[in-house]
Amino acid sequence: MFRGDAGEQVKTQLKAKLANFRATNLVVGGRAAAKATVDGMQATFDKIKPREIVDAYDNALNADMAKGDILSMLWKTFGPRTIDVMADGCKLLARLWQSAWIEGSGDRNITDLTACNHPKLSGLYVKKSTLPSYLLTEIKDHLKSAGGSPGALPKKTSTKKAAKKQPAKRAAKRTPARKAA
């Protein structure tokens, strides 16, 4: 992730933006954590419009730019804003983790704070087949295999339409029967 000169710039600039940060404005409860997360996502979209990134990348592909040139162009165009949203994401995660620690009485309930074995820990939550991640310079071929031309994503089915087509008997089975009084 942090490769080359751009990678060193990311690390240096992120460290500078986070140097004096302390998690404050903590949240209480899952609903507040979810709201803070969605608010953070929206703030990210406001700082870097997804369409702006897609258009810049698409234009580079259409111009047959080399992979290295595409990455350089993206960094030049979005680098400072990328650092900003990465720092905001780090701050949000710190708030959420600190909030969870306090709400869950972490000081009292978690007594072993020694480092854990990373491969063993990540084995609990990482599934290579679930939502694989690709570099921007690699994703084009994977999007083609997902359903058509570059940029084409599989069609979504509406859950409302699917619910209307559901037979009444199946819907009734999911509704608990009422006992007669």
Per-residue model confidence as pLDDT tens digits over 98-129: 999 999 999 998 888 888 888 888 887 777 77
CA distances from 62 to 56, 72, 148, 172 (A): 10, 16, 17, 53
Alpha helices in the chain (DSSP H): 4-18, 30-47, 50-62, 67-103, 106-109, 118-122, 139-145, 159-165, 168-174
Instruction: Tell me the mean pLDDT in the region 161-165.
Output: 46
**More confident call, 32 vs 153:** 32
pLDDT, one tens digit per residue, over 33-77 is 999 999 999 999 999 999 999 999 999 999 999 988 998 899 899
Distance CA 181, CA 173 (A): 21
Choice between 80 and 150, residue whose per-residue pLDDT is larger: 80
pLDDT, residue 147, reads: 52
- Kindly report the CA angle at 107 between 106 and 113, in degrees rounded to 5? 85
Token pair 């083609």 is found at: 144
Share of the chain above pLDDT 70, in %: 76
Query: In angstroms, rounded to a whole number, what is the distance separating the alpha carbons of residues 47 and 31?
Result: 24
Please report the pLDDT score of residue 113 as a whole number: 85
- Please state the pTM of the whole predicted model: 0.63
pLDDT at residue 181, rounded to an integer: 40
For residue 30, give Cα distances in angstroms to 18, 42, 62, 134.
Answer: 25, 18, 44, 30
Domain regions of the chain by residue span: 26-103
